[in-house]
Chains A and B, each alone.
Chain A
Amino acid sequence: MPSTAPRVGFFVTCLVDLMRPSVGFAAVKLLEDAGCRVEVPAEQTCCGQPAYNSGDRADAIALAKQVIAAFEGFDYVVAPSGSCAGMIREHYPRLFAGDAAWEGRARRLAERTYELTAFLVDVLDVEGVAARLAATVTYHDACSGLRELGVKAQPRRLLAAVDGLTVKESAMAETCCGFGGTFCVKYPEISERMVDTKAEDLMATGADMVLAGDLGCLLNIAGRLKRKGSAMQARHVAEVLAGSLDAPAIGEPGRKP
């Protein structure tokens, strides 16, 4: 660890902010346990990816500028999502290519932006976590994290440190679940086939739980698993790594008071 704790701007992502704040707190705990000073700029909303991938370049640029302005003062930007981190890291510099005022700022932010598990392992060199879970889990490699940021070994390395946990790989761990942002509602029938293939593949592992680093995929996968009547639980990898398992698994009812 450096002598001064790195100042991390936590990009919570809109899905975690709205749907599952417990993932955000789990991520913050992991970062703080690893010695970071975590701050959450209030001016953050969305990274702009839905607009960007829908062809709405103007709004994508406006939202990207908002993110850059809110986060450029930090040592690092960390998001519990390969998709949003990929947007900032890979696509912001492209969005502003040729824009003298913004290209440099976008590039400097991009270089300091990480997906959560990649940041913990690659930057902070975290080797262990103080979590325990007696379960067999399988890991779904969300597309952007995997292919844009090379997130593959990092979550597995951290999961290997969870006491009692067994990771069982599925055959199609790297295959898209069919979420694809607005794709899942624009082409619901195709998305259904994709998420059904994914659910079958995950269920074939016999694992108790599926983990991933992106809430979009997890909402899709959990929703299909529930629709199929599967008992397999779905959680964000940060919840397991932080030992934050108080919240019911995704799509499951809360404990009766």
Chain B
Amino acid sequence: MDATSQRFRDNARGALADGRLKESLASFTKTFPEKRQKVIDRLPEFDALRDEGVSIKNHVLANLDFYLERFEAKAAAAGTKIHWCRDAAEARETILAICRSAGARTVTKSKSMIGEEIAINEFLEANGVRPVETDLGEYIIQVRGESPSHILVPAIHLKGPDIAETFREKHTALPAGRALDQPEAILREARTVLRGEFLAADVGLTGANMLVAETGSIVVVTNEGNADLVMSLPKVHVAVASLEKVVPTLEDAATILRLLARSATGQDITAYTTFATGPKRPGDPDGPDEFHIVLMDNGRTAMLGGEFRDMLRCIRCGACLNHCPVYAGIGGHAYGWVYSGPMGSVLTPSLLGAHKADDLPNASTFCGKCEQVCPMRIPLPAMMRHLRERQFVSGGPAAKGRGALKLWAFLARRPALYRRAMALGVGLLAILGRGRGRFRRLPLASAWTGPRDLPAPEGRTFQSLWAERRRGKPASRSRTEGRP
């Protein structure tokens, strides 16, 4: 997909004006955190598990070359073909070449954020191969021609009636008068349509939640079981993953799985957790004849050596989105690319370039909720602040309003001058606001007074009153007129 992250402000405005989106987000950002909390309350060792997860990931990142080579050797021994790709373009070409050599016309897919990152669907379509998403949410947004609004729940911006309308429009072979008002009916219809696609596909394409160095396996989790059909029915399987997905052992994978499902959907474990190692062996009843893994860098090694290394611990659980009050207001599409919410605000500038996502690291109140819930303890606010520091030097939105900030800092660094200037300013403001105690409108403060009144200052500064008190004068602090 083409990134619209540079149009964040317009995107956000549009999202805020969408009443239906508001409803969807309100219910989603309530239920997901509640489910997570419930499941974590049942697991007293959750915080210890987080520490373990962090140390696994940190260890991998410090020894990434070793574990990747080990993974490659083990995977190759199982008959898997590994394709190293520097960037999205190489990964796309590699996947297309595999499809072509398989003579593929239809590719079934399970949900993959890396697939979104490299925009594989558009590319395959443009080259005569038809990709079919098989995760229900992904399927819905694919037939609507949209992009995911959440890394986990791609169609969270939609409600039942939206989906029913889309299905009626697209599934023209089905009876027009059918009932689609119940979620079960929508699900049944998607199943029916997708069943044929599963059987017709020549190539199956999945992502990988993890790559296990010990065994050369990929780990894929879903709640629908669709990835299992994608992996086992077609003759050729392709998994696409970025480098940092590797973990040393099966036990490490289990630790991360315990964190993932709880943080993501508030489940103890997802309905389907599949470890797949290589193609069908002699005597296996099913499985693909060819098993390919596209291992893509696409900016990860650059992050590894810099200030955003911690971000590579991300396991794409979506907890930071689910708990983010900014995301709750504007939804995922406003962020303009594959990754949204706090993790997207760090990943998008890191992967696309800071100039492609100027607003993202600024559009946070630093409330800290994301870091609080991140199973990998990624210091998201600190990384966003770091991006702001870079912008302040190079001139992004963080540098806007620099004049006012510099003036403030100039005064704040000169306490005596500051005290006089501020006493004068608040005194004046207090006189203006005396009648109502607040302002509905104020020149130069429209960004404040647009959404809310501005409470008027009391009139004297604490400092001047305190100085009077120390000199023994009675502090006349109920006075509202300001005389510095």
A residues touching B (Cβ–Cβ < 8 Å)? 12, 14, 16-22, 24-25, 40, 42-46, 48, 50-57, 59, 62-63, 66, 143-144, 147-148, 174-176, 178-197, 219-220, 222-224, 226-227, 246-248, 250-254
Contact = CB atoms under 8 A, between A and B. Distances in A.
Nearest to A15: B457
B167 interface: no
B462 A185 contact: no
Contacts of A197: 325, 328-329
B477 A187 contact: no
B203 to A, nearest CB: 42
A238 B405 CA distance: 29
Given A55-B385, A55-B390, A253-B437, A190 B413 contact: no
B453 A251 contact: yes
Contacts of B9: 187
Interface in B198-227: none
Given A22-B477, A187-B363, 20 more contacts: A17-B422, A21-B461, A25-B462, A45-B413, A45-B415, A46-B412, A59-B405, A59-B413, A62-B413, A143-B365, A143-B369, A190-B329, A193-B16, A222-B455, A223-B438, A223-B454, A226-B438, A226-B453, A227-B452, A251-B456
Interface residues of B, number: 74
A182 B406 CA distance: 14
Contact of B366 (A25, A48, A143): A143
A139 B458 CA distance: 23
Interface string B453-477: 1111110111101110000000101
Interface in B376-434: 385, 387-393, 397-402, 405-406, 408-409, 411-413, 415, 418-419, 422, 425-426, 434
Interface of B: 9, 12-13, 16, 325-326, 328-330, 362-369, 371-372, 385, 387-393, 397-402, 405-406, 408-409, 411-413, 415, 418-419, 422, 425-426, 434-438, 440, 447-448, 450-458, 460-463, 465-467, 475, 477-478, 480
Contact of B369 (A53, A176, A192): A176
A253 B372 CA distance: 39
Contacts of B436: 253
B397 A186 contact: yes
B325 A194 contact: yes
A251 B433 CA distance: 9
Contact of B405 (A17, A19, A51): A51
Contacts of A194: 325-326, 329, 365
B452 A54 contact: no
Contacts of A246: 478
* 9 pairs of A and B residues whose beta carbons are closest in the complex: A180-B365, A223-B452, A192-B451, A55-B392, A55-B388, A251-B455, A176-B367, A21-B462, A185-B447
A19 B453 contact: no
